[in-house]
Amino acid sequence: MSLKAANKVDTNKYELEVSVDPSTFEEAIERTYHKNKGKINVGGFRKGKAPRKIIEKLYGEEVFFEDAINDIYPIEVSKAVEEAKLELVDRPEIEIVSVSKEDGIEIKAVCIVKPEVEIKDYKGIKATKTVKNVTDEEITEELTRMSERNGRLVSIDDRAVIDGDITVIDFEGFVDGVAFDGGKAEKFSLTIGSGQFIPGFEEQIIGKKIDDEFDVEVTFPEEYQAEELAGKPAVFKVKIHEIKHKELPEIDDEFAKDASEFDSLDELKEDIKNKLTQAKEKASENELEEQIANALMEKLEAEIPQAMFDNRVAEMISDFEHRIGHQGMTLENYLQYTGMEMDSFKKLHEEQATKQVKLRLALEKISELEGIEISEDDLNDEFQNLADTHSIELERVKMLVNPSDLELDMKVSKAMDLVRETAKIEEIHE
């Protein structure tokens, strides 16, 4: 056996003493020799043909030790962890205590393990669910948004700019009479009232006409992103090329036919009401679930290793990197565009990571206390569901997803269902 001793040295920390016998070490050395012999030149022998003993005599007995140790210690430490029945939450810290052909290898592995967890009174959690009714104003607002999406742009040449117009302008900005970087554009499309430009800029375009050339005087905000411009007065020379106005359709039966699959405005309104009701119900359920989750986290008793939080942050960042990768962007580029350092980006995820780790531990413990089991049929159904959802062959999914991990995920989900079903929920209607 590779495990000599398993000693608890601190909360959630064990120190394993692992021994690799001489014969196992010898086998690792022999594998290393065959792997590397082709890279070693020895006079009098063709490359890769020099016997091991000759190489060891020439370069020292320990020539293959480092690679052999690196080859074997992960396997032996893993065996020891399994033998000690430890559930690790981070890679163990490894120290090679001693190495020799005669005695083998002595290893010390410091392991951070999953914490012991306690949770009580998880049934009957008190929570409130806010049920929000859909108002006529909300339906009207959605119809207005639909109208705006279906509006058409009309060129204006017989009046001055008014609020809400879309203008096509040239502009160039100056501070202390000197043009600054990023302050110039031609044929730029600006919607008046959008707040897209510096405060005070858009308002000064109101009342101007096509071909007008004029100055716009503004002051950069104190918190402006470019420090060299923050708080400074600026003059923009502006010329108007075009004025456009969005002409909105009248909201009636004809509009309903053009903008939707319905034949009347009343049918469209009813559909909007149903969709808004569903959205509000989903939002209410999400808020309720968050209440219950927060209550569970408060009831959790555990000394959680920092490594669990750090690893969850790393997973979240990795997931984010994967998502933006599909859009042709790297994480490095994203950070550059947003002006964010990696440490700051990590901090953005820390609160959510902490909540996820605590909630997961709570639900896993509840699953254990309730004796929740997953049948083979249910597990197979979930594999099939994953395959269907991601359009991947079933056998491929089974290769990619560890059955034990999936089973635990399903237990956690059932545990949350149990807590939700037993919760004492007060409904508040608004």
Q: Are 223 and 237 in contact (CB under 8 A)?
A: no
Same domain, 105 and 178: no
The answer to the question of residue 407 being in a domain is: yes
Query: Is the sign of the CA dihedral 71, 76, 77, 81 positive or negative?
Result: positive
Q: How large a percentage of the chain has pLDDT more than 70?
A: 100
Q: Is 382 helix (H, G, I), strand (E, B) or coil?
A: helix
Q: Is 296 helix (H, G, I), strand (E, B) or coil?
A: helix
Those residues whose C-beta lies under 8 Å from the C-beta of residue 406, and which sit 6 or more positions away, are 379, 382, 383
Same domain, 407 and 310: yes
pLDDT at position 42: 84
Of the listed ranges 12-16, 339-343, 361-365, the least confidently predicted one is 339-343
pLDDT tens digit string along 266-317?
Answer: 999 999 999 999 999 999 999 999 999 999 999 999 999 999 999 999 999 9
Q: Is the pTM of this model over 0.85?
A: no
| Domains held by the chain: number | 3
Same domain, 176 and 30: no
pLDDT tens digit string along 9-31?
Answer: 999 999 999 999 999 999 999 99
The answer to the question of residue 121 being in a domain is: no
Same domain, 398 and 288: yes
- Please identify, among 89, 114, 139, the residue that sits at the C-terminal boundary of a domain: 114
Residue 418 main-chain phi, psi, to 5 deg: -60, -45
The answer to the question of residue 141 being in a domain is: no
pLDDT at position 336: 84
The answer to the question of residue 139 being in a domain is: no
Same domain, 17 and 68: yes
SS3 content of the chain, % helix, strand, coil (to 5): 50, 25, 30
What is the CATH number for 300? 1.10.3120.10
Long-range contacts from 191-196, C-beta under 8 angstroms, 24+ separation:
191/164, 191/165, 191/166, 191/167, 192/161, 192/162, 192/163, 192/164, 192/165, 192/166, 192/167, 193/163, 193/164
What is the CATH number for 69? 3.30.70.1050
Instruction: Write out the two tokens for 207.
Output: 């009342």
Q: CA 235 to CA 121: how far, in whole Å?
A: 66
Same domain, 343 and 297: yes
Instruction: Write out the two tokens for 301.
Output: 């008793």
Same domain, 44 and 109: yes
Q: Which domain holds residue 309?
A: 265-429
The answer to the question of residue 146 being in a domain is: no
The full DSSP string for 329-379 is: --HHHHHHHHT--HHHHHHHHHHHHHHHHHHHHHHHHHHHHHT----HHHH
The answer to the question of residue 133 being in a domain is: no
- Region 113-139: mean pLDDT is 95
The answer to the question of residue 257 being in a domain is: no
pLDDT at position 405: 93
pLDDT at position 367: 97
The yes-or-no verdict on residue 1 having pLDDT over 70 is no
The yes-or-no verdict on residue 86 having pLDDT over 90 is yes
Reported confidence tier of residue 429, pLDDT bands at 50, 70, 90? confident
Side-chain half-sphere exposure of 272, counting CA atoms within 13 A: 23
The full DSSP string for 122-171 is: -SS-EEEEEE-PPPHHHHHHHHHHHHHHT-EEEEE-SS---TT-EEEEEE
Same domain, 82 and 161: no
